[in-house]
Amino acid sequence: MSLRKIVAIFRRERGLSLQQVADGAKIDRSYVHRLESGDRASPGVRVVQALDDFYEADGLVVGAWLLEQEGLYRDRYARFKAAEARASIMHKYTTGIPGLLQTERYARMVISTESTVTSEQIDSRVADRLERQEILARSPAPHVRIILDEVAFSRRPVETEVWREQIEYLIEAANRPAIVVQVLSLSAGLHDLMDGSLTILWADDGTSVAYVEGNRHGQLIDDPDEVFALRLSYDGVRDKALSPTATLEKLRQLLEESE
């Protein structure tokens, strides 16, 4: 049963008005209305938890909300993948090694860290990640610029061989004509992309979209003004990053230190 139906049934069974529910749960009336109307821009988990507590639903309301959020994420991610596959220019900022440049073994280790993931899901997601990487091999290849936050290198897999293989692959990728890799040093200081990862994609017709991603959530943005603002943020981070040449030196240093 959908979240919209669950919260509507709870309220009607108790004979309560929207305002009475809002007062009892100590939330704004508009939040209750948005949930019951199926508004996709629904309020966050704090509001949903307040309703769950008010109705004494034992997690039913929160659980339904989480399922819908996962569905929204999958939809946004599918649209992002379609845009990525068509892109002729990609600009990325990431706080971890990006999926497009992960080796199979490193990708498997990263995905395996999720507490609830199954072996079948791991295999499926690794295969999906490797399939996405085929974008880089197409002709003509997209022009890709990736800014890697130095924090990405502070958490390494236990297996040294896997880490060395990953660094070697980054070096190889950074030497390709259509790929630019830059490391943003910790000494670069604060910036306004610290809360997550950003991808900006340009199609051949000049249109652009952005994808902002955090832990287990993502937002696809196609509003031109918002994309432009994110591009300015990206440019600011790029200006603080190491040059491509200095980045290669940094990667080779990391490789030597891993011996």
pLDDT (0 to 100) of residue 180: 98
Proportion of the chain above pLDDT 70, given as a percent: 93
* pLDDT at residue 71 tops 70: no
Q: In Å, how far are 5, 9, 163, 179, 201 from 174, measured between CA atoms?
A: 51, 56, 17, 6, 19
What span, in angstroms and rounded, lies between the C-alpha atoms of 22 and 54?
10
CB 9 within 8 A of CB 51: no
What span, in angstroms and rounded, lies between the C-alpha atoms of 38 and 52?
17
Write the pLDDT tens digit of every residue in 174-187: 999 999 999 999 99
Count of beta carbons in the 10 Å neighbourhood of residue 247: 23
Task: Name the most confidently modeled range: 76-80, 135-139, 177-181.
Answer: 177-181
Domain 3-68 homologous superfamily, CATH: lambda repressor-like DNA-binding domains (1.10.260.40)
* pLDDT at residue 42 tops 60: no
pLDDT (0 to 100) of residue 195: 84
What span, in angstroms and rounded, lies between the C-alpha atoms of 11 and 27?
15
Task: Name the most confidently modeled range: 27-31, 71-75, 169-173.
Answer: 169-173
CB 166 within 8 A of CB 172: no
pLDDT (0 to 100) of residue 148: 97
Class of 87-257 in CATH: alpha beta
- Please write down the long-range contacts of 140-144, taking CB distance under 8 Å and 24 or more positions apart: 140/88, 141/176, 141/177, 141/178, 142/87, 142/88, 142/89, 142/90, 142/178, 143/88, 143/89, 143/90, 143/178, 144/89, 144/90, 144/91, 144/92, 144/100, 144/178, 144/179, 144/180
Confidence of residue 190 (pLDDT cuts 50, 70, 90): very high
Higher pLDDT, 251 or 84: 251
> Tokens 């498997």 identify what position?
108
* pLDDT at residue 76 tops 90: no
How far the first Cα of the chain sits from its last, in Å, is 54
The average pLDDT across 194-199 equals 91
pLDDT (0 to 100) of residue 151: 94
Residues 6+ apart with CB under 8 A from 180: 144, 145, 146, 174, 244
* Ranges of each domain in the chain: 3-68, 87-257
**Angle formed by the axes of helices 45-55 and 3-13, nearest 10°:** 40
Proportion of the chain above pLDDT 90, given as a percent: 59
Task: Name the most confidently modeled range: 106-110, 111-115, 119-123.
Answer: 106-110
* Amino acid of residue 157: P
3-state secondary structure of 217: strand
Please state the length of the chain.
259
pLDDT (0 to 100) of residue 70: 65
pTM (whole model) above 0.75: no
The average pLDDT across 216-232 equals 88
